[in-house]
């Protein structure tokens, strides 16, 4: 359940690099139910209206990241990003809805759907349907019993007898019906689970199966910023480099603006795709007055995004068109801003933009020659 996807290795490699660049907090979160797969909750907008804009030059999961989707595409992306990081996962549909289940150190958990028993994750018991058992609960039971490795071998051996005997027939007093032997296997398995006192994990993300924002409490990353993370540098040529985390407003994560550790070292700023727009500012000294070329190093998951900047309270902000980086690091095309000698304040803002996120590493201001 790790290597059973249709995506090639290079697509899996892209998924790992994209998440490390764009949302590294999803990789390091201590919440195993949402580790990696939280990208569905935060980045895959709900709705199929933009699926018509999928690009043929992008692969399937890059298009989902760009244009979102309803439950099916979101579950597909969730299983993909889990496989990319080597986490076992399985499709877990329920009536009228697509979801997934995946492994955690504490057991398997359902994401984006109802609790165990409301769907049908595929299990290996051939007799499950005939015995009128719930495939969803069978799958859960298998995962619980497998934790007792030696005892679980009894379950497998009993199944294998049914597999070898094949079609229903009788050898003296020995039944050759595979369903009979699967029934025995289920009985043994239940005894193992009861002895281990296994407890099923509650489903997560049911409220966002068909919505954009979660009602359940979400942990927000808030990196501990060092002086180096906030240090603004002016080189001998008058070029100013401002770390994205050197904000004078806000100075800590707000939920919309999130400071997090960066795969490049140090920290970076993430502007969430959900929630109301929020401004962020930088206060710094310029060595000389005049015009400067402003550019930013960014990661974007989608296209047609913009960032607005106003220098020192200018009434008309300058529009920075953001490149569609498909989850990789890239620089924006420079725009011209006017700075005063000494203290300056750059105020950045965004419009709603159709629910699209953005990650920023730093800004560069180079004097116009």
Q: Do 53 and 180 fall into the same domain?
A: yes
Place of tokens 């986490």: 87
What's the pLDDT score for residue 52? Answer: 97
Q: Do 186 and 233 fall into the same domain?
A: no
pTM for the whole structure: 0.89
Q: Which candidate, 243, 265, 268, 241, places its Cα nearest to that of 257? A: 268
Q: Do 178 and 306 fall into the same domain?
A: no
Rounded Cα–Cα distance for residues 13 and 146 (Å): 30
Residue 123 counted as domain residue: yes
**How far, CA to CA in Å, does 13 sit from each of 10, 16, 248?**
5, 5, 36
What's the pLDDT score for residue 173? Answer: 45
Residue 223 counted as domain residue: no
Q: Which of these three, 208, 239, 268, is where a domain ends?
A: 208
Q: How many residues does the chain have?
A: 369
Q: Which of these three, 176, 208, 240, is where a domain ends?
A: 208
Residue pair 182/162 in contact by the 8 Å Cβ criterion: yes
Residue 291 counted as domain residue: yes
Residue 354 counted as domain residue: yes
Q: Do 44 and 157 fall into the same domain?
A: yes
What's the pLDDT score for residue 147? Answer: 87
Residue 260 counted as domain residue: yes
What's the pLDDT score for residue 132? Answer: 53
Q: Which of these three, 180, 208, 236, is where a domain ends?
A: 208
What is the domain range of residue 326?
228-367
Q: Do 184 and 237 fall into the same domain?
A: no
Residue 1 counted as domain residue: no
Q: Do 246 and 191 fall into the same domain?
A: no
The burial class, CB within 10 Å (0-12 / 13-18 / 19+), for 202 is exposed
Q: Do 183 and 285 fall into the same domain?
A: no
Q: Do 25 and 145 fall into the same domain?
A: yes
Structure tokens at 367: 């004097």
Residue 55 counted as domain residue: yes
CATH code of the domain covering residue 273: 2.60.120.260
Residue pair 196/147 in contact by the 8 Å Cβ criterion: yes
What's the pLDDT score for residue 365? Answer: 98
Q: Do 195 and 106 fall into the same domain?
A: yes
Q: Do 165 and 246 fall into the same domain?
A: no
Number of domains, the chain: 2
Rounded Cα–Cα distance for residues 244 and 241 (Å): 9
Q: Do 180 and 314 fall into the same domain?
A: no
Q: Do 66 and 203 fall into the same domain?
A: yes
Residue 219 counted as domain residue: no
CB atoms within 10 A of CB 264: 14
Show pLDDT as tens, one digit a residue, over the chain (369 residues). 888 888 999 999 999 999 999 999 999 999 999 999 999 999 999 999 999 999 999 999 999 999 999 999 999 999 999 999 999 999 998 888 899 999 999 999 999 999 998 888 866 555 444 445 578 888 888 899 988 988 999 988 988 887 777 665 554 445 566 777 878 888 888 899 898 888 889 999 887 666 666 666 666 777 889 999 999 999 999 999 999 999 999 999 999 999 999 999 999 999 999 888 999 999 999 999 999 999 999 999 999 999 999 999 999 999 999 999 999 999 999 999 999 999 999 999 998 666 689 999 999 999 998
């Amino acid at each position: 359940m790790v290597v059973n996807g249709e995506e090639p290795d290079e697509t899996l490699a892209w998924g790992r690099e994209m998440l490390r660049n764009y949302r590294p907090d999803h990789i390091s979160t201590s919440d195993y139910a949402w580790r990696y797969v939280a990208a569905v909750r935060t980045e895959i907008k709900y709705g199929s209206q933009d699926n018509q804009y999928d690009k043929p030059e992008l692969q399937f999961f890059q298009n989902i990241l760009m244009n979102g989707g309803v439950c099916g595409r979101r579950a597909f992306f969730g299983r993909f990003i889990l496989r990319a990081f080597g986490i076992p996962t399985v499709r877990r549909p329920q009536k009228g809805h697509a979801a997934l289940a995946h492994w955690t150190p504490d057991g398997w958990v359902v994401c984006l759907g109802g609790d165990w028993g409301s769907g049908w994750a595929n299990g290996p018991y051939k007799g499950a349907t005939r015995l009128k058992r719930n495939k969803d609960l069978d799958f859960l039971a298998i995962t619980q019993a497998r934790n007792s490795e030696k005892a679980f071998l009894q379950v497998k051996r009993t199944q294998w007898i049914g597999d070898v005997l094949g079609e229903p027939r009788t050898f003296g007093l020995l039944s050759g019906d595979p369903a009979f032997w699967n029934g025995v296997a289920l009985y043994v398995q239940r005894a193992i689970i009861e002895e281990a006192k296994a407890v099923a994990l509650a489903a997560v993300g049911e409220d966002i199966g068909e919505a954009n924002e979660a009602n359940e409490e979400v942990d927000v990353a808030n990196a501990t910023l060092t002086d180096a993370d906030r240090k603004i540098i002016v080189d001998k040529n008058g070029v100013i480099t401002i770390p994205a985390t050197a904000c004078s407003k806000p100075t800590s994560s707000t939920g919309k603006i999130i400071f997090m550790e960066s795969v490049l070292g140090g920290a970076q700023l993430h502007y969430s795709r959900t929630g109301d727009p929020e401004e962020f500012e930088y206060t710094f000294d310029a060595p000389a007055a005049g015009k400067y070329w402003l550019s930013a190093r960014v990661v974007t998951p989608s296209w047609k995004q913009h960032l607005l900047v106003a220098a020192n309270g200018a009434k008309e902000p300058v529009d920075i068109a953001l490149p569609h980086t498909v989850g990789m690091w890239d620089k924006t095309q420079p725009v011209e801003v006017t700075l005063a000698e000494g203290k300056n304040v750059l105020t950045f803002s965004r419009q709603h933009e159709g629910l699209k996120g953005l990650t920023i590493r730093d800004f560069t201001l180079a004097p116009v020659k």
